[in-house]
Amino acid sequence: MLNNVAVLLLDEVHPFELGVLCEVFGLDRSEEGLPVHDFAVVSAEGPELRTHAGFTLTTPHGLERLEEADLIAVPAGSHFADRDYPEEVLEPLRRAVARGARVMSVCSGAYVLGAAGLLDGRRCTTHWRHADGLARRFPKAIVRPDVLYVDEGPVVTSAGTAAGIDAALHLVRQAYGPAVANAIARRMVVPPHRDGGQAQYVARPLPRDRCDTVGGTLAWMEGHLDQEMSVEGLAAQAHMSPRTFARRFQQETGTTPYRWLLRQRVLLAQHLLETSDETMDAIAGRTGFGTAAALRHQFVRSLGTTPHRYRQTFRGPSAVPEAV
């Protein structure tokens, strides 16, 4: 169970991520028959902490409060990717996991868990903007940049900002069952579970800066996404053998021609779903998928949600109704 919950704060904490944890675990909802937690906000760096929004926070609880917790949650903060963390902050996290408690991070709070060695050999996530940095700093961590949260035994990590709600409700669902998680979600006016992952929200610019020999081909591919393409045809256009073209493409873009093409087609489909009322068949034709069924299949594989749900997410329930 999660009877005792402590939130570990470091200087320049982000108020929203802290607020998420307070809202899910810190409110007394006993009048609705919901569980009440022994909840505390713990300061790791003195009685007064700055937030990145310019105001300060105070709490009477120090690090000793962590020793009682069933769950220790670490919200995001500024400069977490660059700073070092003192042992007196990291050791209680290790002890918590060793005695069977759970630890959780929201967004860049994953850097604190990584510094404690708790991400080594474990799948984890963070905000997509921090994913590469987290993997570089903690090479033994298995970073998943495309998901909303990861539950890896005693360690739960979540992606940016609102994904902390998803992870926190997941823990509530595990501890008390879906009825309790759904009731808290209703109070918060959020879905009890979201489809897909943070791949839906990632902005990925085209990798043109290192494309010395295939840059022209990339530009042509981007302008003709509705057409059939093959490595042989693209290689001929670039005046290379298929083998040389495939090798250069991999070297300069970091991926294969097929995967690059698929990603650009999905990106175009996302754009059309967000900005137009075109039918799924029309979007499938413009993006080179051919049929609405093929569009749906590749969209779900890439983003973890259907084109119809994606359109509703980014345009609201008034979006053109589709069965796909």
Q: What angle do CA 304, 191, 51 make, to 5 degrees?
A: 95
Q: Is the pLDDT of residue 208 over 50?
A: no
The residue out of 199, 227, 254 marking a domain boundary is: 199
Residue 122: CATH number of its domain: 3.40.50.880
Total domains in the chain come to 2
Instruction: Find, among 27, 70, 18, the residue nearest to 183 by Cα.
Output: 27
Whether residues 61 and 170 share a domain: the answer is yes
Is 207 part of a structural domain of the chain?
Answer: no
Q: Is the pLDDT of residue 209 over 50?
A: no
Is 323 part of a structural domain of the chain?
Answer: no
pLDDT at 320: 54
Q: Is the pLDDT of residue 182 over 90?
A: no
pLDDT at 314: 72
CA–CA distance, 100 with 115 (Å, rounded to integer): 19
pLDDT at 270: 86
Whether residues 159 and 37 share a domain: the answer is yes
With beta carbons less than 8 A apart as the criterion, state whether 211 and 238 touch. no
Instruction: Find, among 30, 20, 26, the residue nearest to 38 by Cα.
Output: 26
Q: What angle do CA 155, 42, 35 make, to 5 degrees?
A: 65
Whether residues 105 and 142 share a domain: the answer is yes
Terminal-residue alpha carbon distance, the chain: 40
Lowest mean pLDDT among 95-104, 128-137, 267-276: 267-276
pLDDT at 323: 47
Whether residues 90 and 220 share a domain: the answer is no
The tens digit of pLDDT for each residue in 299-308 reads 998 888 899 9
Whether residues 230 and 195 share a domain: the answer is no
With beta carbons less than 8 A apart as the criterion, state whether 91 and 114 touch. no
Is 301 part of a structural domain of the chain?
Answer: yes
The better pLDDT of the pair 274, 25 is held by 25
The tens digit of pLDDT for each residue in 279-304 reads 999 999 999 999 999 999 999 988 88
Is 322 part of a structural domain of the chain?
Answer: no
The residue out of 175, 199, 223 marking a domain boundary is: 199
Whether residues 55 and 124 share a domain: the answer is yes
The better pLDDT of the pair 204, 228 is held by 228
Whether residues 124 and 224 share a domain: the answer is no
Instruction: Find, among 130, 147, 106, 78, the residue nearest to 18 by Cα.
Output: 106
Whether residues 152 and 89 share a domain: the answer is yes
Whether residues 275 and 191 share a domain: the answer is no
pLDDT at 79: 92
The tens digit of pLDDT for each residue in 101-117 reads 999 999 999 999 999 99
Whether residues 80 and 157 share a domain: the answer is yes
Is 321 part of a structural domain of the chain?
Answer: no
What is the 8-class DSSP label of residue 49?
E
pLDDT at 211: 53
pLDDT at 201: 66
Is 59 part of a structural domain of the chain?
Answer: yes
Mean pLDDT in residue range 84-100? 96
pLDDT at 147: 86
pLDDT at 46: 82
pLDDT at 203: 60
The residue out of 165, 199, 233 marking a domain boundary is: 199
pLDDT at 146: 82
Mean pLDDT in residue range 255-262? 90
Tell me the average pLDDT of the chain: 89
Q: Which two tokens stand for residue 11?
A: 């200087």
Residue 268: CATH number of its domain: 1.10.10.60
Is 208 part of a structural domain of the chain?
Answer: no
pLDDT at 106: 97
pLDDT at 161: 84
Residue numbers of the domain that contains 78 = 4-199
Mean pLDDT in residue range 209-213? 58
Q: Please identify every residue annotated as catalytic.
A: 107
Total residue count of the chain as it appears in this document: 324
Whether residues 43 and 177 share a domain: the answer is yes
DSSP 53-85: TS-EEE-SB-GGGGGG-SEEEE--BTTTTT---
Whether residues 145 and 279 share a domain: the answer is no
Provide the percentage of residues in the chain whose pLDDT is more than 90: 67
Mean pLDDT in residue range 48-73? 95
